[in-house]
Structure 1
Amino acid sequence: MVPKRKNSLGGGGAIPASAIVLGGGEGRRMGGNKLFLAVDGLLLLHCVLDRICPWFREVLLAVGPKDASSLSLLLEGRSWASPVRVVVDRAPGKGPLAGLVAGLREMDSPWAFLMGCDMPWIQEPLVRRMWALREREEGVLCWEREGYLEPLHAFYSRSCLPFAEEALARKDHKLKSFYPQVPVQVVPEEAFADLPGHRRSFEGINTPLQLERFRESR
């Protein structure tokens, strides 16, 4: 059953939430951290920021300690439609869950949208539709694609923080490890059926071939 829509696309302007962009991965298939991938002389991350900053109140870049200084230097002298901050992952090497925890600790909003730094095809209408369908004031808001919950294209409320921290402490590093402890609202894929190309929103760049595909599409 498709949830009743409050608004087709959730309105315009900034969504009253932060975005947490994960950038702590090793990028083995790409030969290095995807934070520093460049497309025609421009960081892939800059392309992502140009795209998403108008949608959110702020953007937090969750990175490991060894990348924080280099990334801060690369961001100097640039401005975006919303504030962009670097937050340091206190548990590097523990995967996306550690980045989520770092962002939830530092964000200035009650909600955050979690995504990777390698997702330049993210679709604004889909993100706004998700937010418009939100029915709870806390927990997780995610969409289901072919029976799979997408934790890296989802909204998380600040109330998730203690449960995510507990999962991290017990070394259960999967993003969905704490889902049983919080309210989870699942939006079925048919809620986006009228949005052309909505599946592209979750696509990331994991190989040189995909990077070339993105370069050609710009």
Structure 2
Amino acid sequence: MDGSATFPDVTLAILAGGQGTRLGGAAKGLLTVEGRTTLERLLALGSHFADVVLVANAPEPYARFGARTVADAVKGKGAPGGVHAALGAARTPWVFAVACDMPFVTEAAARVVLDARAEDVDAVCFEREGRCEPLLAAYRAGLVARWGEALAEDPSMRRVLLRFRTRTLPEAALRAVDPQLRALANVNTPEDLVRYGVTLPAR
């Protein structure tokens, strides 16, 4: 582990997510923003962390990046399954989870989350408009067994988080370092491509 990392006890977990069906089946990590793929932008953020893992059930599009890659241990569970895979793959006590279609995550945004950890907290995430934001969030890696048990219920992320000691942060805490909440932006639709200046990968 990299002792010089900003967050030496945290693994950055990048979740490759679904099939990008609303974007014509594009691999979301290959979407391009300001000349770099979203995955490249997030991997660059990895220099602040002790380790990086990419959770991808279809890793072939991302092989050229050389990231340590794992698949979901429990298939078909969406984001809860992806976080579970990250917890199981972590070599550190904590995991910071983001989605590969979130091109504007910054070290400052990660710090807001990670500084809110405490001995009596298992997970930290932002709450926006009454909903938790589970991908720009920190999770204690030791949750992996209980998290896996929760997957049997096919739960939403919110239901999983209710099982644990979850600290929710107001969006104002993020706005202090990210006034437009760009770190929470994800690219899911053609409208998002226009909104965030994102281009699809070449076929």
TM-score of the two chains, using structure 2 as the length reference = 0.83
Residue from 168, 171, 174 that aligns with 1:186: 168
Report Cα offsets for 1:62-119 as digits up to 9, x if no partner.
111xx13x1463224xxxxxxx310111333320111111111111011101110000
Residue from 142, 151, 155 that aligns with 2:125: 142
Distance 1:33 1:159, change over 3 A: farther
Shift of 1:137: 5.4
Report the residue type matching 2:183 in the other structure: S
Q: Aligned to 1:205, what secondary structure does the other structure show?
A: coil
Cα RMSD after superposing both structures: 2.4
**What are the equivalent positions in structure 2 for 1:30-109 lying under 5 Å apart?**
30-35=23-28, 37-39=30-32, 43-50=37-44, 52-64=45-57, 67-68=58-59, 70-71=60-61, 73-76=63-66, 84-109=67-92
Report the residue type matching 1:44 in the other structure: T
**What are the equivalent positions in structure 2 for 1:104-119 lying under 5 Å apart?**
104-119=87-102
Count residues in correspondence: 193
Q: Aligned to 1:48, what secondary structure does the other structure show?
A: helix
TM-score of the two chains, using structure 1 as the length reference = 0.77
Report the residue type matching 2:186 in the other structure: G
Task: Say if 1:138 and 1:158, in contact at 8 Å, map to a contact too.
Answer: no
2:11 aligned with 1:21: no
Using the aligned pairs only, state the percent identity. Answer: 28
When Rg is computed on C-alpha atoms for both structures, the one with the higher figure is 1
Distance 1:47 1:196, change over 3 A: closer
Distance 1:102 1:59, change over 3 A: same
